[in-house]
């Protein structure tokens, strides 16, 4: 469908996972929906929560798959097929433990990097050539690849300040992506985000 873009944040459904590091993709699309005053609706045929809106003549679907992370591609693939969306109009937002907290990285394509949500999307779309926005969550010092407890944990009070800045900047990057294209969005917004200075330390 012309003039339609899909922005999917990946995460795990359910109150027990709300606000966890692994769900930072959900946090971003929820922030975007609130900013654009778009209402969420559970659409069972896609097994996803969707928020639909129109911005500057462009139609946008915000998506939270209601599968668990490892099967995120099921909902995204179903939406892509139903709306006949090209892969380059489907932006996937995920957490990335290999990027430090506060780092954001948009790419036009690439490997999953071991992220099970991206693996599922790649399998369903049968391509790696779809844009993905990785939001760094970091990892504990000394952690090996078994970091389940960490990614399913919630951000600390200190981390939440940086997360707020990340969500604000990543939201601007998403807007730039559909208005000006991926190259401009990467050039303007990729990189490290820092927390605002504490009051009294100016």
Give catalytic residues, as residue numbers.
22
Reference 126, options 67, 73, 194; nearest CA is: 73
CA angle 163–114–129, rounded 5-degree value: 90
Q: Cβ atoms within 10 A of the Cβ of 141, count?
A: 5
What is the secondary structure of 44-78 as a DSSP string? TTTTEEEEEEEETTEEEEEEEESS-GGGHHHHHHH
Strand 103-107 vs strand 132-136: parallel, antiparallel, or unpaired?
Answer: antiparallel
Count of residues in the chain = 202
Contact between 128 and 111 (Cβ < 8 Å): yes
């Amino acid at each position: 469908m012309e003039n339609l873009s899909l922005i999917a944040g990946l995460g795990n459904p359910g109150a027990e996972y709300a606000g966890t590091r692994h769900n930072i993709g959900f946090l971003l699309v929820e922030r975007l929906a609130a900013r654009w005053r778009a209402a969420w609706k559970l659409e069972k045929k896609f097994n996803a929560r969707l928020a639909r809106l129109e911005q500057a003549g462009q139609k946008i679907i915000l998506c939270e798959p209601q599968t668990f992370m490892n099967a995120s591609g099921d909902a995204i693939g179903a939406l892509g097929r139903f709306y006949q969306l090209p892969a380059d109009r489907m932006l996937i937002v995920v957490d990335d433990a290999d990027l430090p907290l506060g780092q954001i990285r948009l790419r036009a394509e690439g490997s999953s990097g071991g992220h099970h949500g991206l693996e599922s999307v790649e399998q369903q779309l049968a391509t790696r050539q779809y844009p993905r926005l990785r939001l760094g969550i970091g990892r504990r010092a000394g952690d090996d690849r078994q970091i389940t407890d960490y990614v399913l944990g919630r951000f600390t009070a200190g981390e939440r300040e940086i997360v707020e800045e990340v969500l604000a900047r990543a939201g601007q990057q998403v807007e730039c992506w559909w208005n000006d294209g991926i190259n401009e969005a990467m050039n303007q917004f990729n990189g490290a985000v820092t927390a605002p200075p504490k009051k009294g330390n100016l």
